[in-house]
Chain A
Amino acid sequence: MHIIESGNVAAANGVKLARVQVVAAYPITPQTPLTEKLSEFVDAGEMDAEYIPVESEHSALAVCIAAASTGARAFTATSANGLLYMNEQLHWAAGARLPIVMCVVNRGIGAPWTVWNDHQDAISQRDTGWIQLYCCDHQQIIDTVLKAFYLAETVSVPVMVCYDGYILSHTYMPFEIPEQADVDKFLPPFKPAYALQSGQPANLNTVTLPDVRPDVRGDMAPGYMEIRHNLHTDMRDAIEVLADIDQKFAGVFGRNGNPYIEEYRCDDADFVAICLGSLSYHLRDVVDILREEGLSVGVMGLRLYRPFPDQAVRAALSRRKGVVVFEKALSYGNQGALYADIKSALYCTAEKPAVHNYILGLGGREIKTDQLVECFRNSCRHPETIDDEPQWIGLKM
């Protein structure tokens, strides 16, 4: 069934269909309507879950960590400074290998205070050990929430489902709500390898010594560094697992999600724009305009940011003349984070495309089609003339 609703409502419906058992959240714009909707579902008896209101985002994730430790399917959502307030618990959830799913409704970070969209919140948390998936429209939001639980529970790594604040969260568009029976066919119940039980107290994630040593049963237990190595290798394996899950999703729902990169007019393109989130759909119109002018261009939306699908990125970009990275986030004093990742992925290729970096849309600064057209056109016409410094779009100085 198709409905016309906001991106937040799309996410809430995904959470409901995933049969989430525990929701803990603290309201923050522009995430609030998502968790309000979930509390309505629980209140109306449409969702068999505990909704636990908390006094902060730190507690929201702490509740999810506790719930997931007992084997419950847990969900939270936040934005911007709320995500930052969770930071310590983000690392904990990943280190404890708990398959929590969280929607990050992307918003700029204060100070100065802003409620509008950019990607600095999620990008600044990229090294917490969470998988990060990005969405371009409401169908992708609801579908990605379902895939996220499957992925998280398969690799025991928590997942952020990121989508643009306001641009997607508060915009209404049609999307299909999957049938519960199909979702149940796709997403098996959460069966943890170990679950805390009230009759059997246990210490979890206590002080771990620098070196390996025998545990209470006399078996050699991994030390801190082995545990970190396992997290890293399981994150790398998650790249393949995501493709399998995407395939299975397509088998049930008939929608192919392009697990790593969603391409538009890229087959013969000499120059390719790449970015995260809904901007890649906006850039489709820009590509059409530049194609009319005779330029050989295409656009790619990167769906998976962490773990970084470097092989797929390399395969998609290595033989292009130029790659243009549009970013709504910045590693201050250096470059856009995605730009650095893409250059790194291309470093070992024989023929390296020119790579340009544009920073735009910070704190909700309007992104105009004609600005995108001009910058992308400029990069195509003069691929070698722009230096490694990021260029700013729409800066009024």
Chain B
Amino acid sequence: MNQDIIKIRWHGRGGQGAITAAKIVANAAFVSGYTGVVMAPTFGTERRGAPVLTSLQISKQKIYDLSPITQPDMVVVLDHLIVEEVDVAGGLKPGGLIIINSSRHPDDFDFNGMKVATADVTHIAGEAGLPTGIVNTGIIGAFAKASGLIDMETLTRAIEDEFKGKHPEKNSRAARVTFENTIVGGN
């Protein structure tokens, strides 16, 4: 059984692009040698604005169990208000990591000792020239910095591939600037 799987849960709102963000990371992970990549959105009533989540599993081997993940190693939250609506730390493994799009410092959050990283992606993405509320590429920079899983160069290429013809540079700049401005809290 393949037990060497890194499990990442993405929380966003319907229409916010959490699935696209997870897909970009999936592509970058695959290019980085993780040949087993599975991204499974959880479906039901994904009306715009409602909290949604997506599972991303990455591994060096093929993944056979496609079930939604229940015990993630990391959680990425595209909208800090979701923290008040959804138990984003639910099932998170001990010592797990929560990455939040928030202007607040990681120490302002308390998830029972889980490691927290924050970046003000909403602000940075706006500065990069993206329309207000487009945070799904910026958050990838925070993910890269806090997780250290995939290098920023590979992620930048994956972002620009995904947004070919749709402001690729603005999207990748949002990610790179977010990377530089992500604060990783202590445990």
Chain A contacts to B: CB under 8 angstroms: 2, 4, 30, 115-116, 166-168, 170-174, 278, 281-282, 284-285, 288-289, 292, 366-369
Contact = CB atoms under 8 A, between A and B. Distances in A.
B39 A4 contact: yes
Interface string B57-81: 0000001111110000000000000
Contacts of A367: 67
B interface, how many residues as a size bin?
10 to 19
A173 B39 contact: yes
Contact of A173 (B38, B41, B67): B38
B12 to A, nearest CB: 16
Interface string B5-24: 00000000000000000010
Contacts of B65: 281-282, 285, 369
B35 A281 contact: no
Nearest to A287: B1
Instruction: Tell which of B30, B41, B43 has the most Cβ of chain A within 10 Å.
Output: B43
Contacts of A115: 43
Contact of B67 (A2, A4, A174, A366): A366
A170 B68 CA distance: 12
Given A282-B64, A285-B64, A174 B30 contact: yes
A288 B38 contact: no
Given A2-B30, A170-B43, A174-B30, A278 B66 contact: yes
B37 interface: yes
A116 B41 CA distance: 13
A166 B41 CA distance: 8
Contact of A167 (B2, B35, B63, B66): B66
Contacts of A116: 43
Nearest to A278: B66
B172 interface: no
Contacts of A278: 66
B62 to A, nearest CB: 8
26 contacts: A2-B30, A4-B23, A4-B37, A30-B43, A167-B40, A167-B66, A168-B66, A171-B39, A171-B40, A171-B41, A171-B66, A172-B37, A172-B39, A172-B40, A173-B38, A173-B39, A173-B63, A281-B64, A282-B64, A282-B65, A282-B67, A285-B64, A289-B1, A366-B68, A367-B67, A368-B67
A361 to B, nearest CB: 11
Contacts of B23: 4, 172
A4 B66 contact: no
A4 B26 contact: yes
A369 B66 CA distance: 11
Contacts of A285: 1-2, 64-65
B26 A172 contact: yes
B1 A4 contact: no
Contacts of A284: 1, 64
A174 B27 CA distance: 9
B50 to A, nearest CB: 16
Contacts of B63: 173
B43 A166 contact: yes
A172 B23 CA distance: 8
B41 A4 contact: no
A171 B38 contact: yes
A285 B61 CA distance: 13
Contacts of A281: 64-66
Q: Which of A173, A281, A292 has the most CB of B within 10 A?
A: A173
A286 to B, nearest CB: 9
Contacts of A366: 67-68
Nearest to B24: A4
A165 to B, nearest CB: 9
Nearest to B45: A115
* Of B1, B2, B30, B41, most A-chain CB atoms within 10 Å: B1
Given A2-B30, A174-B35, A289-B1, 8 more contacts: A4-B39, A115-B43, A116-B43, A172-B40, A173-B37, A285-B1, A285-B64, A369-B65
A174 B63 CA distance: 11
Contacts of A292: 1
Contacts of A167: 40, 66
Contacts of A168: 66
